[in-house]
Each structure stands twice: as C-alpha cells, then as structure tokens.
Structure 1
Amino acid sequence: EGVICRHPFVAGRNSVVVLDEYVSLEQGTGCVHIAPGHGTEDFEIGRRYNLPVISPINAQGYFTEEGGIFAGRFYLETNKDILSELTRHGALVWQETITHQYPHCWRCKNPVFFRATEQWFASIDGFREDLLAAVDRVRWIPSWGRDRIYNMVANRSDWCISRQRFWGVPLPIFYCAACGEAVITQETISHLQDLFREHGSDVWFARDAHELIPPGMRCPACGGTEFTKETDTMDVWFDSGSSHWAVLTQPEYWPGQRWPADLYLEGSDQHRGWFNSSLTTAVAVTGDPPYGAVLTHGFVVDEQGRKMSKSLGNVVDPLEVMKELGADILRLWVCSADYRTDLAASSNILAQTAEAYRKIRNTFRFLLGNLYDFDPVRDRVPYERLLELDRYALLKLHRVIERVTKAYAEYEFHLVAHTVYNYCVTDLSAFYLNVLKDRLYCEEAASLPRRSAQTVLYDILYALVRLLTPVLAFTTEEVWRYIPVAGEKPVSVQLCDMPEVQPEFIDPELEDRWERLLVVRDEVMRALESLRKQKVIRDSLEAAVKLFAGKELYRLLSAYRQQLPSILIVSDVDVLGLDEAGPTTVATGQEDLRLAVERAPGEKCARCWVYSEDVGRDPNFPDVCPRCAGVLRRMG
C-alpha cells in the first residue's frame, strides 16, 4: 500500500497502490486498476485515498486534452492503438479477449460508459435516523415491505437529484458569471415561485437568466450582477416524491384533501422509487411520513411465471379480455389472486375465472328469480318467526359479512373473492338454495314457510350485491336495478353503505347444531352419489335413508326428524340407534353414525316429486301427495 508506480507511456503521471476488500484472490491476479473518474466503486476508493479524479473522456465519448496523444478520438476506436503503445514501451505482458458481463442501456441496448461528473446531491446523513424512525410509523402491506425499505434507507448514499436532460422540472439555481458561485437563496426561490405560478415552470427554459433573477440581485460572493442558469433538470423521483405536498396541502387546487395520505399503492419496484423518494422529501420537511400505509403488489406474468413480452407471444391484452369476457371477469381475476406476489394471466386462467363468475351470476339470478312476488315491507317475516333453517342461513350470511368486511379492511381482496365464491357455491347453491326449492315452488305463495325463505333470500341478495360492488362493479349495478328496496332507493348501488354484522343474528348454539347436521348431510350425500354412479337411483328423491346414530347424535337427529327429508332432499328418513345397525349398513367418517339407503316406497308426486305411499289419496288430485293436494285445494 502506498507504492508509487510510473505510468507506462504518459510522462509525469504516476499512480499509487491502494487496498480494498472487493479485490478477490480467487479471480484474476489479485491486482486490478481503478479509474476514480469512471466508476462508482473506484470513485469511492479514490475519495478515501484522496486520489485525483481524472476523467479524460467527455460527454460525447471523445478523449479530451487530458487524453494526450488520443485527444479528439472516440474512446472505442482507440483500443488497438493503446495496446500498440503499451507494446512499444515494453509494458504489455499478456493480451487476450474474454467474455464477461457488462451493463447495457435498457432502452437502446448499447454498453454504458461511466463518467464522474459534477452533480447536485441531497444529503441523507443529516436525517437518516429520522427516516428510519418514520418507516416504523407506517403500516406496510405486505409486512416484508418494512424490512425492504428500512434496509434501503439505512444503506443509501446521498441522493443525486440532478439529471442531464432537456425536459423536466428545472433546478432553480443561478451561477455568477464572474466567479462561478452557485446562487440559490430564499429571495431567488420566492421570485421564481411567483414566476412559475403565473407562467408555469416552462418559463425557466423560455427566458434568459437576467429575466429570471430577482431585480437588483448581486452575487453574495463577489457582488457580480451577471448570471447564468442551471441547465440540469431535477431527478423525476424528486418531483414525483413531492406530489404528496402538491396534492394534499393546497386546498385551493385540491379541496377536501388532507396530509398525510391514507395509502400509497404501487408495484414492488417502488420501494426504491416513489415510496422512498416520497418518504425522504416528507421527513426532510415535516419530520413525518407522507402516508399512513403503503401497499405493494406484484406484476402480471404468464401461466409459467414468465414476464410478458411480444417476442414470447404471451401478452394478455386487457382490452381484448374485456371485449371477449367483460370487464367484471377481468376485475374478478385481479381480486381472486394474491396481489402480494406476481399475478399469472393466460386464456386458461381467465376461462376459469369466467366459470367462477358464471356461478356467482347464476346465484344472483336464482335470488332475483325467487323474489319476483316479494315485497320487503309487506311480506317480510320477523326474525323470531323465521324457520330455523332460515335463521341458520341468516347466521351464515353474517359470518360472510364479517369475514369479507375484515378482508376489505386488511386489503385481502383475494379473501373477499374466495369467501364470496365459496359461499355462493357451497353454502348457497349446494345446500341452502337446493333445500329451499321445495318450499319456494310447492308451498302456497303467501305461506309462512315460503315468505320465511324469501325474507332470508332478500337479505342475502341485498348484502351480496353490496359486498361485491367493489369487485363486480358492472354486474352489481345490473342486479341493483331489479332489487326492491324499502324506502327511497339510491340511484346506484355505489351509493349504498356496506352491510354490517348484526350480533342478534349470531347464535352459537344454533350454529353448532346445524354444523353437526351438515356433517351428517355430507355423509348421506356421499352415499347417494355412490348409488347414482351405480345407477341404483337417478335422483336423491328416489331414496329413503335410515340413520343409525350414537346417543348424543340420536337425540339431535330425533329433534329434527320432520325436517331431515327436506335437509337431505330425500323422500323419507328414519332415525335409529347405533346398536340397531345391521351388517348391511354403511360405515361413515363419523364413529357414531352408520346409514342405509334404499329406494323410497310409494309413488312419485307429480308436483313436488317426493315419493309417498299416500299419492292419490285425494280423489280430486289423484297424482299428487296429500300436502300438494291441500295447497292446490286452497289455491282454488
């Protein structure tokens, strides 16, 4: 360290040997050259050793006078001549061509040449600890975002805020023509603010320095009165990072806004960009972060996780998707995926989303179709008179409201989509709506069983249309047109409040009973499906079921004996003790339950399709069961 070396062919230019940890003994000779004027790491090492910053190549890539015999030549054209000069002086030990990685411009794909140039910087060290403290006062979604930006702030260098571009926000700096002193004072800033407010920031580029400097201004260093203006522009991250102040603190332009922002939302690359620059400008001025929460999402990739590009032919055009499938399917796809990671898009994935959408839409159609004669004011059944199954369905609805509301509050949009989808497919279509068909189609129009069902169907519809509005904005607006509403109806569902959980509908004992009944139902459904595959029955109503249950389950099933046929959608159910189960009964996944399924005796009712030995008992209605005969008689 400190050994002085003579330049091979430039007289008087010596170099000093310095040390640094990035030089490896595993690669190369263990000795590398550095150029403090042409590399970031080299510049930092040079600054540490107080080396001169020599940059003999100008902004156009040509050697300056510092380049000696190569002055005026383009740097890439001098390689052979430099090698020849080294050879002539006996300084070239070895020469070969290698392949290595080298940075290239992302836009034009040409190799990048590094030069040390004078720039304007914003010092970070003076308030770095304030920045780190501000990071911990923000809610980061997902939580790993906190560590990512914290480490970036902790390790970042001073912020280079100047750019050599001909467009952008100007750097409001003047230079004394006599001594070169940079002039930026409160007086010059206030004067420029007035000019910008009246003429816009383009006034900086349209006018000369003497038209921009405050009248009578003198250089604070030498008293000079002639000035030039800075030609560099501001780093775009500086002005975008100041947007919170421009938007949220100027009520004359943005009435009703307040600082700080509730939420910043961008892709995961913005921890280094917008999130970081906004935090820096805000803490520098106010000491506080400019946002209460920051949400980060991934990027859209193809089904194999590859970045989309025209060359790969894997681009999914959202406009084409909307033309083919509709905007709501695109919205549902976005909300169904966990945005915290990259989102996969393909024709296959969107087709699956379209199928999920179809099931949700069919649920809306069923609900609307069975409320055609229901007036929510005239026909509503009070909670205490609702049938127990309907009270359970209302409870399940409020469990969904509870989960969805929590998911929205926590920005877990994929949980919103999955919760509502599973509710429509499993709780409604596969169970509740299926069970209700008998009541809706076969009971008298104004009977308590039917109105009880319609009351809950209405509540489900009214809640679902509001829960899904942020996701399926167009579909819910379409549904809203057909929903009768008590009182004055808002012109749009977008103007409605979100549904809220009503604690009086949450009955844990009721929930426990029906959850146990549904376990039994699942076992029966499996047995019925097996018989369908064997072609023993075609429809569940062709079956009669015997349930052999342990003592506790027996008591529960016996209490619901009259409701079990409709719950299981079979023609008859018999409840027996587990000790009565014979060798031909079927074991289930429950230790206290066995069952037997056989064809239901009797004839099929032409109206409700339930098999009964009493079909035709009423001579006036020879092809229906007694229940349906009574309904028909009362209908006249």
Structure 2
Amino acid sequence: FYVAKEAVGNAIKGEHEIVAELTGRDLVGRTYRGAFDELPAAEGVIHRVIEWNDVSADEGTGIVHIAPGCGKDDFALSKVNDLAIIAPITESGVYVDGFDWLTGQNAHDVAKDIESNLKDKGLPYRAEMYTHRYPVCWRCGTDLLFRLVDEWFIAMDELRPKLMDATRTTTWYPSFGMERELDWLANMQDWMISKKRYWGLALPIFDCEECGNFEVIGSEVELKERAVSGWEAFEGHTPHRPYVDEIKIACSSCGSHVSRIPDVGNPWLDAGIVALSTLNYRHDKDYWNEWYPADLITESFPGQFRNWFYALIAESTALTGEAPFRNVFTYALMRDEKGAEMHKSKGNAIWLDDAADDIGVDTMRWLFATVNPSANLGFGYNVTDEVRRRFILPLWNSYSFFVTYARIDGWQRPATASPVGERPLLDRWIISRANELVTTVRDGLERYDVAIAARAIEHFVVEELSNWYIRRNRRRFWKPESDADKSAAYETLYDALVLVSQLLAPILPYLSEELYQNLVRSIDPDAPMSVHLTDYPVADESLTDRQLSKDMAAVLAVVRLGRSARAEANIKVRQPLPAILVHTSDPAGAESVVRLKEQILDELNVKDVRALADLGDVVSHEVQPNLPVLGPKYGKALGGIRAALMRANASDVAALVEAGSIVTLTVQDGSTVELLPAEVLVNLRKREGYAAAQSADATVVLDTTLTPELIQEGVARDVVRAIQDARKQLELNIEDTIDVRYHTSERAVVNAIQTHREYVSREVLANSLEPSQDVADTAGYARLKVGTAELEVSITKAG
C-alpha cells in the first residue's frame, strides 16, 4: 500500500511495517492498474499518478482517485493533465453500456454492490464512514449526481472590462450591491448558456456533424432564408420546440443539411434579454431609445448578482455598449417570525390570500416599506399586529378624531384658507413640519429609499400629529364656541391629514384612498376622482419655519425626559409638580425651551420651567466600570482601571459617555487607557425631593415637593378621569353634556371638587356638579375610585 506519511496514523490500524519512504514527486508519472479495468468502458484507459495541491492527508490515505466524468474539479484537472474522461451515467443517473454488471442500475443504488465487488477482488485495506460535503436537491433533499455533458458557453474574458465599466455607471440600493456585482464580474468564468431541457428558449445554433462547423441564426427572417426543409411545419408558431426542431438549414461550409442543437437556453439568458426583446428594439429603435435604459429594476439580491443582474448587464452591454438600467433596488429574503425559512412542509408558510384576509395588504406593505431592505424580514401575525398598533391605528385614530368633531360642529373647509401666519403657534409648527416632511419623503422616494420616506411619515403621524399636535389641541376642538381659533385647528388638521393621504398613496394605496375619498371627494365632487390621480405634494418653503421646528424638537425632547423622570419617581402626570429644571449641553436648546415653556408647563403638569446652569445643585453622577465587558478584556488590570475611574470627575466622564465619546483614564503606572462609552456605566444620584432623567443632549430634573394645594389639584384631576371613565361606560356621545351628583365620605375629595369646580365641570361637560347624599340606585349610577378614596356619582344626560 502507498500512504501519505502524515496519514499513516489515521489510515493504518494495528501492526504494520513501513517498507520504504518516497517523495510524492517520485510517484508522479507512474502508471497503475485501476480498480475496474475489467469493464469494457475502461478498455485502453491508462491511469497515471499526477500531483494536485487540493489533496489532503487529513482523511483517507492522502492519495485520491479522481473521476473526470463525475466532478467539476476532477474534470478541470483532467484537461490540464490530458487524462482520459469517462462519463458513466445517463440523465437519470443510470449506468450506460460498457459497465457490465453495473449497466442499467441507478448510481444511487449500487454503493454496497461496488464495495462487495472490491472485496471480492481483494483490493480494499479497510472501509470506514466519514462526513463528506455533497450537493442535494434544494426542494426534496435528494442527493445529486455530477454528470459530464457537452454544453455551450460564451467566452467572457473579452467582455469582462466592459461589463465592469457599465456596472459602475449604475446606482445600487443598498450600495454594497455594486461591490458584489463587480466581485462576481471580476471572478466569473465563461457563461454556460445551454440546458438539457425541453421547455425554454430554443438556442438558434446549428452544429454540423459532418464538418464540425456551427452557425448561429440571428433572426426569424434569416432562418426562413436559410431553411431547406421544415419551414411549413414551423410557420405560424413561436420559435420553440417542437416546431423549430423541424427546420434544417444547409451548412455554409459543406452543404450538409443541419438540424438545430437539441439544447434550450439557460433561463437567465432568456431573462437577461428583456431590455432588447421588448419595446420594438428590432423594429422601431427611436421608440425603444425613449425607454432605454430603464430607470429602475428590482429583485431580491441573493443569487441575482450572478444571475439576472449579470445577465442583463452582459447581454445589453454586449449589444448596446451600456447597462440596461440606471438604478437597482435589491432586498433580502422573507423568513418567519423566528428567522426560519418558510416551507409548506414545516407548516410555517403563510399564504398570500390568508395574509391579505387576516392581516390586510396595506399593513403588510407598511411592514415591507419600513424595514431595512438589506436584512432578512421576519414575517408573521405578531409582527404585523405590531405594525398595525404602531402606525395604522394611530393614523386612523387621528382621522377618526377629526371626523368625529368636525361632524359634531358641522365644520366645512372655508373657501379661502386662513392666513398661516395668523394661526396659533402649534398650527404654524405642524404646517412647517408637514412641509419639511414632504421634502424628506420626496428625497427618499427619488433615491428609491422607501424606508426613509415611510419612517419619516410614521414619525410625523405618530409622534408629531397624533401624540403632540392633536393631544395639545384637544380643548380647541372640544370647546363649545365655533370661533376663528377652532376653525383654524380644524383647517390645520384637515390639511395635514389630506397631505398624509397623498404622501402615503404609493405605499398604502387602499388606506390612503379611503382617507382621500372621505376627506376630499365627499365634500368636493370636482376634486380628482382618486388620490392616485392627484399631483404628488411639493413642499412650500414659505410655510417652513425651521427655527420653530427646532424649538419644538427641543421641547419634545424635554417632555420625553420629563415623562421618564415622572415614571421613575412613580408620580402620575395628573399630579401637578412645582417645577421642572432643564440643563442642556447646547445653549440654543435652552433658549428653545424658554421660548416654548408654555407647552412644557401644560403637558408635564408643572407650575414652572427653569433653566439649570449647574447640575451639581440637584444631581450628581456616579460612574462605574462595566465589569462583564471590561473583565474579559483587561483581566487583572481591571482593578487599576476601576481605581482610575473612581478618581476621575464623574460629571466629566458622564458627559463623554452621553456624547458617545472615548473616556481616557490615567492608571497608577502613568499609562493611559481608553474606554468605549459602552464600557462605562453612568447613574444619576438625585437629591431628596427630585427626580431626573437625561439624554446625550439634556438633563431634566423634576421638583417633586408636594404642597397641599398641589395635592388637592391632583385629586381634582383624578375626579375628572374617574367621571370620564363613567361617561364611557354609559356610552354617552362625545358631545353630550351631563348633570352630575356625587357623594364621598373623603373630605379631601369634596374639597378638591369644590375648589376646582369650574375645571372639573368644563373637562367632563357637566352643566351641573352637585353633592348629594342619595345617589345610589339611580340611573347612571357609578362607584368610582379616586386614589384610595371611593366616589359615588349619578350621571344623567342633560336635557
């Protein structure tokens, strides 16, 4: 036996003797007897030892027998070394004639028989099982067999530089697409364009068996001119099998009658010609030039860089000298909610019809529009429920809010819009933000970045229109007076909703149409019949107030921090507080807060807003090393780092961390250590009576001191909340006014109602609000909780 020296330990078992040692080069060129030389197919085949860098001694003997007719690498090696090539199986995997007892048997079924045959001939030393990477059918998992066949190729080396230059003239989304395509083009081999199939593009290649000459027919006209037989059977049919196979042409070299090769084209050859097989390329070039190249193509990117994208670029560049498209939008794959591939056999596939019925197509479209297209999409009912909750419902609730109160008040959009400059601040702000939104959305869509556009719309609708503009203006819609201020609120909200319906139209065609029909067409029959027939919005720069937008953004940031501080201190928003103190890293942010302090006062239910110059007056920072992160990184040196961090100014370190900057420390030996923001933990330590929250740009501190007056006002707000809940339980209309009688044994609740009687009555639309000893068992009776106290009320609809 010959065995690689490094393989002896694995290959040879038991006692053995090494007779001699040779170098591999000593064996190269020697001939040997094959294991199946007795088969007719092996007659005359000479087996030679050759060298191959890919042979490893990690498994087996370190010596490999290759089969050039059964593997790509083996075949390539045989061409270099001029080895005999035997193709043993048919398309069905059955051994061909010349293989004696193997002939007629399927290659999948004879492994044990081959092993027995080798043992009968005394050839094996021993047999063992080992793991081997092998291709399988992607659909059913059946092992595949390599088979050597003749195919047709296009030589690509000459085209390669042109294809790469053409690719560089295009724009790819995401941008890494160009890099992947160029990588494929730089490393591609010749393009195999034929397939052993029946259905498909009939390759117009006529290969003469007599003299070896082959010709490619370029058109149906040329085919008719060259045909010597079979045209009658073909005429009237498309150039596909079986009709085109009837035609024979005369060989231009020897005159023999030649049939078309039986192969059909690679499907990507067919798909890649789309830019030249449509729009009258062959018959009306002027018309074709109006549409070429295409502005956009789109396809899921796995596999397409070497398939469709490649085929399009290759064929169009070869024939026109340029790429057939200007922009490519690519995206990853859809998976289930756990990230697994969807398959019917796994039971995790969701069929489109079911999803359309149960989820809604617009909800699905919004999910697709807002995700990162370069990452696989997890799809399922939970994910889409979250999309509906996160955006669809807030949008519909905003629309419903407008419609409900506009109907109650009988509001009609005035023929002449009220001057924007004369409207209240919040109106001017949302109009400004709406115009900034138009700019952002148009820019995203024009760059084929739907995610940027969709996320901007979602932020505007949810955070700015619903959670801020409508929330801050509810009393303007609720008040009984139909004055200019109320009309301006309606007009502003109406215009914002119509604008959103137009911006959404390309992404959510059905929901946007529903909004448009109800908001616009229902009151203006002369308006375009569909939102999809309106002009897409264009920003009006004259209505954009960037300073106001910046100011309100600072206010919203402070409000978010204020809510977070309340939550941390477990103080509900209904409880008024004395003050909020605001510290910003940017002086302009502090100025914004001062300019719009009234918005903060009301929203956070505080009595004062003050700038805080020195955080040290009310809070301090505590910094600590992030041990789970730093421990494995620094080991024993962690103690010195911890000590250096404790010596550093905690506020300065906190500022660096919040800004996302590196923290540089000097340890005891004088060397420096740089810590990433994630490697340092920062905690706020508040003085007694304060609650705080911070971001990278601001710190907000709430004074949580409660006076008796503040406590009483908080109780009054709790009463309002309780009576509003009772209104809902009685299913009263929003506009219904009520009469309220109440009773409670808790004196603090009685005092709160009496002190804030006007406020409570206004909030709950009460014409009367009177104490009573006898409210039980009456119509509209409800027992409510106000803090820990019990409040009994009798609510009746006012006459």
- The TM-score range, normalised by the shorter chain, is 0.7 to 0.9
Moved more, 42-51 or 189-198: 189-198
Q: What is the SS of the residue equivalent to 2:135?
A: coil
Q: What is the SS of the residue equivalent to 1:293?
A: strand
Partner of 1:298: 332
Partner of 2:744: none
Contact 1:376 1:455 in 2 (8 A): yes
Partner of 1:50: 82
> Does 2:297 correspond to 1:264?
yes
Partner of 1:568: 603
Partner of 1:235: 266
Q: Which has the higher strand share?
A: 2
Mark the CA change 1:131 to 1:362 in structure 2 (over 3 Å): closer, same or farther: same
Residue of structure 1 aligned with 2:451, choices 390, 397, 414:
414
Q: Deviations over 1:539-576 (max 9, x none)?
A: 47xx4755678999998777667x55885385x94567
Contact 2:70 2:147 in 1 (8 A): yes
Q: Give the Cα separation in 1 of the matches to 2:494 and 2:601.
A: 21
Letter matched to residue 385 of structure 1: E
Residue of structure 1 aligned with 2:472, choices 435, 439, 447:
435
Q: Give the Cα separation in 2 of the matches to 1:578 and 1:283.
A: 65
Q: What is the SS of the residue equivalent to 1:94?
A: coil
Q: Deviations over 1:487-538 (max 9, x none)?
A: 941100011222222222232333344344445545665677689x667x8x
Residue of structure 1 aligned with 2:501, choices 455, 465, 488:
465
Which consecutive unaligned segments of at least 5 residues does structure 2 have?
A: 1-27, 619-686, 714-754, 771-799
Q: Give the Cα separation in 1 of the matches to 2:244 and 2:44.
A: 46
Partner of 2:549: 511
Partner of 1:93: 125
> Does 2:477 correspond to 1:477?
no
Q: What is the SS of the residue equivalent to 2:763?
A: coil
Partner of 2:672: none
Partner of 2:372: 338
Q: Give the Cα separation in 2 of the matches to 1:434 and 1:169.
A: 62
Residue of structure 1 aligned with 2:399, choices 347, 364, 368:
364
Contact 1:5 1:16 in 2 (8 A): yes
> Does 2:32 correspond to 1:5?
yes
Q: What is the SS of the residue equivalent to 1:427?
A: helix
Contact 2:501 2:516 in 1 (8 A): yes
| Counterpart mapping for 1:347-362 below 5 A | 347-356=381-390, 357-362=392-397
Contact 2:555 2:600 in 1 (8 A): no
Residue of structure 1 aligned with 2:529, choices 474, 483, 491:
491
Q: Give the Cα separation in 1 of the matches to 2:423 and 2:198.
A: 73
Higher relative contact order (CA 8 A, sep 6+): 1
Q: Give the Cα separation in 2 of the matches to 1:341 and 1:359.
A: 27
Partner of 1:501: 539
Contact 1:375 1:484 in 2 (8 A): no
Q: What is the SS of the residue equivalent to 2:47?
A: strand
Residue of structure 2 aligned with 1:318, choices 352, 371, 374:
352
Identity of aligned residues (%): 25
Partner of 1:174: 206
Contact 1:329 1:353 in 2 (8 A): yes
Q: What is the SS of the residue equivalent to 2:539?
A: coil
Q: Give the Cα separation in 2 of the matches to 1:83 and 1:519.
A: 76
**Number of residue pairs matched by the alignment:** 598
Residue of structure 2 aligned with 1:390, choices 402, 407, 427:
427
Mark the CA change 1:189 to 1:155 in structure 2 (over 3 Å): closer, same or farther: farther
Q: What is the deviation of 1:221? A: 2.4
Q: What is the SS of the residue equivalent to 1:25?
A: coil
Which consecutive unaligned segments of at least 5 residues does structure 1 have?
A: 617-636
Partner of 1:164: 196
Contact 1:524 1:568 in 2 (8 A): no
Letter matched to residue 35 of structure 1: A
Q: What is the deviation of 1:107? A: 4.2
Contact 2:336 2:379 in 1 (8 A): yes
Q: Deviations over 1:568-598 (max 9, x none)?
A: 385x94567979x999974655669764662
Q: What is the deviation of 1:70? A: 5.0
Q: Deviations over 1:291-346 (max 9, x none)?
A: 11222212221121111123332222332222123222222222232222111122
Mark the CA change 1:193 to 1:514 in structure 2 (over 3 Å): closer, same or farther: farther
Q: Give the Cα separation in 2 of the matches to 1:549 and 1:234.
A: 71
Mark the CA change 1:466 to 1:77 in structure 2 (over 3 Å): closer, same or farther: closer
Letter matched to residue 260 of structure 1: P
Q: Give the Cα separation in 2 of the matches to 1:490 and 1:221.
A: 67
Partner of 2:460: 423
> Does 2:248 correspond to 1:221?
no
Q: Give the Cα separation in 1 of the matches to 2:592 and 2:113.
A: 97
Partner of 1:33: 65
Mark the CA change 1:244 to 1:575 in structure 2 (over 3 Å): closer, same or farther: closer
Superposed CA RMSD in Å reads: 3.9
Q: Deviations over 1:590-628 (max 9, x none)?
A: 6697646624464334664399xxx99xxxxxxxxxxxx
Mark the CA change 1:271 to 1:504 in structure 2 (over 3 Å): closer, same or farther: same
Contact 2:562 2:700 in 1 (8 A): no
Letter matched to residue 516 of structure 2: W
Contact 2:234 2:244 in 1 (8 A): no
Q: Give the Cα separation in 2 of the matches to 1:314 and 1:79.
A: 36
Partner of 1:619: none
Q: Deviations over 1:211-259 (max 9, x none)?
A: x34xxx53222222x3333211111111111112122454989978612
Partner of 1:625: none
Letter matched to residue 143 of structure 1: S
Partner of 1:627: none
Q: What is the SS of the residue equivalent to 1:481?
A: helix
Q: TM-score, normalised by structure 1?
A: 0.82
Moved more, 425-434 or 584-593: 584-593
Mark the CA change 1:586 to 1:283 in structure 2 (over 3 Å): closer, same or farther: same
| Counterpart mapping for 1:516-527 below 5 A | 516-522=554-560, 525=563
Partner of 1:633: none
Q: What is the SS of the residue equivalent to 1:54?
A: coil
Letter matched to residue 497 of structure 1: D
Q: Give the Cα separation in 1 of the matches to 2:421 and 2:560.
A: 28
| Counterpart mapping for 1:586-601 below 5 A | 586=690, 588-589=692-693, 595=703, 598=710, 599-600=712-713
> Does 2:21 correspond to 1:21?
no
Q: Give the Cα separation in 1 of the matches to 2:208 and 2:99.
A: 30
Q: Deviations over 1:439-479 (max 9, x none)?
A: 222263232x2233233213211211111112221111111
Q: Give the Cα separation in 2 of the matches to 1:516 and 1:110.
A: 62
Contact 2:562 2:604 in 1 (8 A): no
Mark the CA change 1:365 to 1:569 in structure 2 (over 3 Å): closer, same or farther: farther
Q: Give the Cα separation in 2 of the matches to 1:400 and 1:58.
A: 64
Residue of structure 1 aligned with 2:491, choices 432, 455, 463:
455
Moved more, 66-75 or 307-316: 66-75
Partner of 1:609: 763
Partner of 2:10: none
Q: Deviations over 1:155-210 (max 9, x none)?
A: 2221111111121111122344644543435588722599899634256513654x
Letter matched to residue 316 of structure 1: I
Q: Give the Cα separation in 2 of the matches to 1:416 and 1:84.
A: 68
Letter matched to residue 230 of structure 1: I
